[in-house]
Amino acid sequence: MSFPVITIDGPSGSGKGTISQLVAQKLGYHFLDSGALYRVTGVAAKFHGVAMDDEPALAQIAANLDVRFETGADAGVKIILEGADVTREVRSEEGGMNASRVGALPTVRQALLARQRAFAVQPGLVADGRDMGTVVFPDAPVKVFLTASARERAQRRYKQLLEKGESVSFDDILADIEARDERDSSRAAAPLKPAQDALLLDSTGMSIDDVFNAVMRAFEDRV
């Protein structure tokens, strides 16, 4: 039986997480935050004292992740790794950087493939990531590639972190975003790039509502 998968790929801070969740909510679909799986792999590696370049050990960790995503009453998803709440570590800047390092390793990506595909169940799925439209769900009927300038993405991230009470420097955030873009786009395994049949959407200067409406129009056109 087939059912719709909507893939939303793009660089960090492009707003794809927010948009994917809004679209999933609107359609009553499941939601896959694939970045969280790479982030959790990095956190689990740190837990177990595995170096971020020890590919065989990292692939083992990725294949055997004991992780749960719990949606609480107060919104926000709690991430439970081996029984412990690791939401904070997973969402931190370090969590993002380590995710980008482990995500560059082909056997880690391979180990996470089946787990990601298992999210595609009735009535449908919105999948957020870097290679959802190119590798994980190449047959998805709706593919979006969402981007924004590095400066605007850094600005959004900076605001988010300040709101969370973290003390951060804008220049550090911008440098992190640029380093992560470079690593994600230049790696050999599943580099960040739009699928040939993706709708390209540059959200610089667009409101969340505008982007949401553009994605919903693409869905209505293609499904």
DSSP of 94-163, one letter per residue? HHHHHHHHHTT-HHHHHHHHHHHHTT--TT-EEEEESSIIIII-TT-SEEEEEE--HHHHHHHHHHHHHH
Closer to ligand C5P at the Cβ: 37 or 199?
A: 37
Residue 104 corresponds to which tokens in the numbers above?
């560059």
- Give the nearest distance from C-beta 106 to ligand C5P in angstroms: 11
Q: Is 191 annotated as a binding residue?
A: no
- Give the nearest distance from C-beta 131 to ligand C5P in angstroms: 5
Binding site for ligand C5P (CB under 6 A): 12, 34-35, 38-39, 96, 99-100, 103, 129-131, 180, 184
- The vertex-9 CA angle with 8 and 14, nearest 5°, equals 100
Cα dist from 119 to 92, 110, 136, 187, 194, whole Å: 24, 16, 11, 25, 21
Q: How many helices (H) and strands (E) does the chain have?
A: 9, 8
- Give the nearest distance from C-beta 13 to ligand C5P in angstroms: 8
Q: Is 17 annotated as a binding residue?
A: yes
- Give the nearest distance from C-beta 220 to ligand C5P in angstroms: 25
Closer to ligand C5P at the Cβ: 102 or 218?
A: 102
- Give the nearest distance from C-beta 104 to ligand C5P in angstroms: 7
Closer to ligand C5P at the Cβ: 29 or 134?
A: 134
Closer to ligand C5P at the Cβ: 15 or 96?
A: 96
Exposure b/e, 120-135, CB count within 10 A at least 16 = b: beeebbbbbbbbbbbb
Residue 51: how many other CB atoms lie within 10 Å: 11
Return the residue nearest ligand C5P (CB atom): 35
Query: For the sheet containing 77-81, what is the strand order?
Result: 67-71, 77-81, 84-85
Pairwise CA distance, residues 116 & 107, whole Å: 15
- Give the nearest distance from C-beta 130 to ligand C5P in angstroms: 4
Q: Is 42 annotated as a binding residue?
A: no
Q: Is 138 annotated as a binding residue?
A: no
Q: Is 14 annotated as a binding residue?
A: yes
Coil vs helix vs strand at 30: strand
Q: Is 34 annotated as a binding residue?
A: no
Closer to ligand C5P at the Cβ: 35 or 194?
A: 35
Closer to ligand C5P at the Cβ: 73 or 196?
A: 196
* Annotated binding-site ranges: 10-18
Binding residues for ATP, as ranges, are 10-18
